[in-house]
Structure 1
Amino acid sequence: MRSISLTRSMRWAALTVSALALLSLPARAQTDHDHGHHAHQALGTVHFPVSCRPEAQAVFDEAMKLQHSFWYQASEKKFQEVLARDPGCAMAQWGRALSLLYNPFLPPTPQNLAKGLAALEEAQRLGAPTDREAGFIDALLVFYRDHATKDHRSRVLAYEAAMASLAARFPDDPEVRIFYALALNVAASPTDKTYAKPLKAAEILEAEWQRQPDHPGVVHYLVHTYDFPPLAQRGLKAALRYAEIAPDAPHALHMPSHIFTRVGYWPQSVETNARSAEKARIAAETDDLLHASDYMVYAQLQMGQDEAARRIIADRNSFAGTRMIRPAGPFALAAMSARFALERGAWEEAARLDLRPTAFPFVDAITHYARAIGHARSGRPEEATAEVAALTRLVGALDKDAYWKEQVEVQRLSARAWTAFAEGRRDDALALMREAADREGRTEKHVVTPGPLAPARELLAEMLLEVDRPAEALREFEAVQVTEPRRFRAIAGAAKAAERMNDGEAARTHYGALVQVAAQADTARPDLEKAKAYLSN
């Protein structure tokens, strides 16, 4: 196992250098487009033919450019503009319903579900003049209809089936194919480690990319398609290309970091998310601003840029009182503060985190989880037990959301494990921590987050190191780096485990990797200083 991990560490280092050169492309593309005469010029090329008045077609295409970059508030306004030019355009109502999904990887709000259903019913009343357009409307209706009685996951799968049927009827229609690929990605099971649906989507999208190299949706959905550890390398080209095609869209500038995070390209993630956050700030898109910031802070913390992360968090906390009806913004606010404490091993800070209650139980769980770990690892199991009880309540509140229920259960198990450890019940603690690691390993992270607040397997490895089982700890730290490459704590832990085993070669390699990952650190973290001292001997 160790030889595989060491080879991977060297490969990541080489790849990072090559990607730094590549990343200058999007920045150049942005300056090429900045002379545009209207706000949404640099968004790629889309032609989605519809049977509406000719004067409405160009506006419909503009709306679809925005929609393919999940710029949903702007796209809905454009679809309204289409209706102003052609009140009888049924597909503009379909477009409104599409924009009301917001990010389709997250459940829409109840208000949007009601509005979207009304828009589609109006589209049916107006009548689609072609079978293709009627097919688009009917397929989306499958998702919106019965939203009050059928759960989100069931409706997602029904929509995927409807789009599969439409794609079978219109196999040569580019937009049908592209939306079918997106439906496959949204419907992919987080526990399917064969990645069957994403790989099917990849086949469709890669073929379409050859025909439409500047289509924003194609490259955007390819990034989502490859946003898994075993597939991430395949997504680098699309990630770089998307930011180049659509540099005026905040989401387009953020999306490359989904792949950069998967392969540990931290400087590139910071750079593209900084650009995304600035675009989002200008456009007053708070969710996009905070989402990009969470990914940026995650990358900064892996590089030991704690002061840079501190500044970002302090700035973004000014949005804490903003009303946000979608989870991405609140999630980012809670996660950034929790990450800042947990990634640095600042257990007292973690224990003192302020809870900002939200409408989303899995968001509130972030703070309770971080506080539980902070209390337990500061030697206060009684206080940790109260936080575990809060996590237990939140798990119960997620009965209708199987994915997040499992994620919060992993956090609860991890918190229970460290609480048991603080109580001196080390065998119980290790058993609980291993269960958490195994359960987390059977699923995938959600698009809303760059990664777990603290990978459960990493916490298991740290616990093994605490009980002086360095060989087992090293195996677990190296396993973390297969799915979460170039993580500061996983590399530092592996180095310490190897050193404790008196494996000088492995220790030097891991300490060397740590120094390389944190080459641009702005803080003298103890683990980094130890790595430098070890390598200087």
Structure 2
Amino acid sequence: MSSSPPPSEPYFDIGKFHREISTTSPEAQIWFDRALVWIHGFHGDEAAHCAENALLWDPTSAISLWAMLAALSPNYAKSWAVMGPMKNSTMEVWMKNKDEMLRLAENAPPVEAGLCKALIHRFPPDTPETEEDWDFAALNHAYAEAMGHVYDQFPDDLDVASLYADSLLCLSPWKLWDLGTGEPLPGSQAVRTKQVLDKAYATPEGKRHPGILHLYIHLMEMSGTPENAVPAGDKLHGLIPDASHLNHMPSHIYVLVGDYRRAISANSRALFDDELYVSKGKPSLWYNILRLHNMHSLVYAAMSSGNWEDARDNLKLVETDTVEDLARTMPNVLEGFLGTWAHVYVRFGRWDEILAKPLRDDPEFYSCSTSMHRYARGIALAAQNRVREADIELEEMKRTMAKIPKGRLMFPNEAIDVLQVGEAMLEGEIEYRRGNFQAAFEHLREAMKRYDGLVYGEPWSWMMPVRHAYAALQLQQGHIEEALKTYEDDLGYSSTLALAHQHPNNVWALHGYHECVTRLGLKKQAQMVYPHLRLALAVADVPITSSCFCRLNIQKANGTAANGVPNGCCQ
């Protein structure tokens, strides 16, 4: 009798997902179904655990052994390149089990045998001795080609379609579409991936398949039409009730279309699922990375909607000892998360709290997060007209940035590229306080250029849009038309910016836009935007009186009540 727990014992709620496999063991079937749904949800650890249990009930199941090994292999969110020390442990498991998988596959049905044989191409024949010996591109292309052959044989199999789509996306992760034109980038298989997913999604079953819905969001989020994935996101949310990553995924699209409330809701549910999973045992390194991503995404959506409490309260995960320890294990991926708080506190103008927060003792190791801390201190001091002290923080920021090692990320960007946005912003804020307005705006325009030049990430690696500060200060100097144009660009009312650089419906730019058109006497525009602004202000939990708390005397803005709600649509 197997030592695996019987499937009848309480388990996570993963809905009714099922794929019939070649086994005579009902218990193995249940554990395999669980493994496969976690594979589609990029939860490799739990998928491998379930597959191991399936094998205990049926050691002859080739497809269960495939599931165990596929669970540990790369996917679109976890490429070979970012796996770090996990590569060697994965290779150890692979080398021990690959021959047995192929042996069992000889007696498996064609589709199961095909998946087993394709997986051989996902891994190198032997464990590379050094990092330089890994040829990630060759592995990705070989696996995609092998999965293409399986898909050609079984084009109506939704699981095969999902696995094939993932293999295609892995050929150019996060580089699928040109953000400016919306056209596929050279080397991208975006068009082929869309053909595969569209065919699957056209079926009733495809509209309920976690892998198809999940990957459709990843495919479309960088495209010129991310809104086309909103229905997929709506269908995915709650489909697999306890699958954290799948419940988080719709937020990628919701943020892009300006539905920040639903983005907060999706990530809140994901974090609830995370707490449930963590309560059952110790999460792995990679699971903790996904937890941080959920936190990061929720905080970003809360910042965009003016929700200080949601943003502040959800920083608690990144401030735990667990994350500190993980940052030591995988600093190039995780250390940058430790500076998230600075984005939040600057966004909400918490100047005294920023200045009260102690600096870390090891700025050389914590070079990225310490640079963010110096930036936040500089902005806070400049906002309080303590320019000489702000200058010192700018120099300390530059000195710390010089210590950042190559490969240190503020995911998915190099940390130095992200921090250079903040460097230019701080230079602009300091010059503004000196009264050097022309120099200040030149620095802020440079910051905008750097912001727009970042590699696509969800959320954006620099979490406060630079245009919010630039337009607020332009407006304060009476450059109302220039400020209006900047707000129009940020909100997506013009076609100047790529979709990824727009922030539809965000309360900060809505307020600025409304103030501009009101002061210019453009009553029609004021009337049109007013309902959107009132809703956004009702959702925010702080008074919004400017698009940036760096603007001086914002409480004296004409026509604004104490709670930030304009006294009428178009005075």
Specify if TM > 0.5: yes
- 1:240 is matched by which residue type in structure 2? D
Please provide the CA RMSD for this pair.
3.9
1:124 aligns with 2:98: yes
Matched with 1:8 is none
1:57: how far off?
Answer: 5.0
TM-score using structure 2 length: 0.74
Name the CA distance, whole Å, in 1 between partners of 2:310 and 2:408: 35
Cα deviation digits, residues 259-293 of structure 1 (max 9, x gap): 11111212222223222222211211555554333
Cα deviation digits, residues 370-390 of structure 1 (max 9, x gap): 344334444322223312332
Name the CA distance, whole Å, in 2 between partners of 1:147 and 1:258: 37
- 1:323 is matched by which residue type in structure 2? D
- 1:140 is matched by which residue type in structure 2? R
Which residue among 82, 87, 93 is the counterpart of 1:113?
87
1:180 aligns with 2:199: no
Instruction: Say whether the 8 Å CA contact 1:163–1:179 is kept in structure 2.
Output: no
Matched position secondary structure for 1:484: coil
5+ unaligned residues in a row in structure 2: which ranges? 1-7, 107-112, 493-501, 547-559
- Alpha carbons of structure 1 residues 166 and 510: separation in structure 2 relative to 1, 3 Å: same
Instruction: Say whether the 8 Å CA contact 1:251–1:288 is kept in structure 2.
Output: yes
Instruction: Say whether the 8 Å CA contact 2:354–2:377 is kept in structure 1.
Output: yes
1:239: how far off?
Answer: 0.7
Matched position secondary structure for 1:518: helix
Matched with 1:440 is 451
1:181: how far off?
Answer: 1.6
Q: How does 1:381-530 map to 2 (within 5 A)?
A: 381-394=391-404, 396=406, 398=408, 403-405=413-415, 406-422=417-433, 425-447=436-458, 449=459, 452-482=462-492, 483-507=502-526, 509-510=528-529, 512-527=531-546, 529-530=563-564
1:149 aligns with 2:160: no
Work out which of the two has the higher radius of gyration on C-alpha atoms and give 1 or 2: 2
Cα deviation digits, residues 357-403 of structure 1 (max 9, x gap): 79786666544443443344443222233123323433756499983
1:531: how far off?
Answer: 3.9
Matched with 1:240 is 234
Name the CA distance, whole Å, in 1 between partners of 2:85 and 2:347: 37
1:343 aligns with 2:362: no
Greater mean alpha carbon deviation, residues 67-76 or residues 100-109: 100-109
- 2:131 is matched by which residue type in structure 1? T
Which residue among 162, 165, 174 is the counterpart of 2:142?
162
- 1:346 is matched by which residue type in structure 2? R
Name the CA distance, whole Å, in 1 between partners of 2:140 and 2:317: 40
Matched position secondary structure for 2:131: coil
TM-score using structure 1 length: 0.78
Greater mean alpha carbon deviation, residues 261-270 or residues 426-435: 426-435
Larger RCO (CA under 8 A, 6+ residues apart): 1
- Alpha carbons of structure 1 residues 430 and 123: separation in structure 2 relative to 1, 3 Å: farther
Cα deviation digits, residues 101-157 of structure 1 (max 9, x gap): 5774245443311011122222333251366245432332159964843499x62x4
- 2:449 is matched by which residue type in structure 1? D
Name the CA distance, whole Å, in 1 between partners of 2:244 and 2:263: 14
Name the CA distance, whole Å, in 1 between partners of 2:125 and 2:339: 30
Name the CA distance, whole Å, in 2 between partners of 1:85 and 1:361: 50
Cα deviation digits, residues 82-113 of structure 1 (max 9, x gap): 44345576665654454345774245443311
Matched position secondary structure for 2:542: coil
Cα deviation digits, residues 7-54 of structure 1 (max 9, x gap): xxxxxxxxxxxxxxxxxxxxxxxxxxxxx9641342452528579999
Cα deviation digits, residues 214-253 of structure 1 (max 9, x gap): 3211111112222237322111111111123211212222
Greater mean alpha carbon deviation, residues 167-176 or residues 59-68: 167-176
Name the CA distance, whole Å, in 1 between partners of 2:36 and 2:367: 33
Instruction: Say whether the 8 Å CA contact 2:13–2:241 is kept in structure 1.
Output: no
Name the CA distance, whole Å, in 2 between partners of 1:523 and 1:402: 30
Name the CA distance, whole Å, in 1 between partners of 2:13 and 2:34: 9
Matched position secondary structure for 1:245: coil
Name the CA distance, whole Å, in 2 between partners of 1:127 and 1:42: 27
- Alpha carbons of structure 1 residues 477 and 451: separation in structure 2 relative to 1, 3 Å: farther
- 2:400 is matched by which residue type in structure 1? A
1:282 aligns with 2:276: yes
Name the CA distance, whole Å, in 1 between partners of 2:510 and 2:262: 20
Cα deviation digits, residues 273-323 of structure 1 (max 9, x gap): 222222211211555554333333333343333344444445874566663
1:326: how far off?
Answer: 6.3
- 1:513 is matched by which residue type in structure 2? H
5+ unaligned residues in a row in structure 1: which ranges? 1-35
- Alpha carbons of structure 1 residues 500 and 50: separation in structure 2 relative to 1, 3 Å: farther
Cα deviation digits, residues 42-92 of structure 1 (max 9, x gap): 245252857999974543332111121122221121132244345576665
- 1:202 is matched by which residue type in structure 2? K
1:74 aligns with 2:49: no
Matched position secondary structure for 1:345: coil
Name the CA distance, whole Å, in 2 between partners of 1:330 and 1:185: 27
Select the structure that is richer in helix. Answer: 1
- Alpha carbons of structure 1 residues 249 and 456: separation in structure 2 relative to 1, 3 Å: same
Matched position secondary structure for 1:205: helix
1:177: how far off?
Answer: 3.0
Greater mean alpha carbon deviation, residues 427-436 or residues 468-477: 427-436
- 2:448 is matched by which residue type in structure 1? A
1:217 aligns with 2:211: yes
Cα deviation digits, residues 133-187 of structure 1 (max 9, x gap): 45432332159964843499x62x4344223312432224344432232233342
1:350: how far off?
Answer: 4.1
Matched with 1:299 is 301
- Alpha carbons of structure 1 residues 255 and 530: separation in structure 2 relative to 1, 3 Å: same
- Alpha carbons of structure 1 residues 522 and 221: separation in structure 2 relative to 1, 3 Å: same
Name the CA distance, whole Å, in 2 between partners of 1:44 and 1:147: 43
- Alpha carbons of structure 1 residues 421 and 487: separation in structure 2 relative to 1, 3 Å: same
- 1:112 is matched by which residue type in structure 2? M
Matched with 1:374 is 380
Matched with 2:266 is 272
Instruction: Say whether the 8 Å CA contact 1:303–1:521 is kept in structure 2.
Output: yes
- 1:470 is matched by which residue type in structure 2? I
Greater mean alpha carbon deviation, residues 283-292 or residues 269-278: 283-292
Matched position secondary structure for 1:81: helix
Name the CA distance, whole Å, in 2 between partners of 1:506 and 1:353: 43
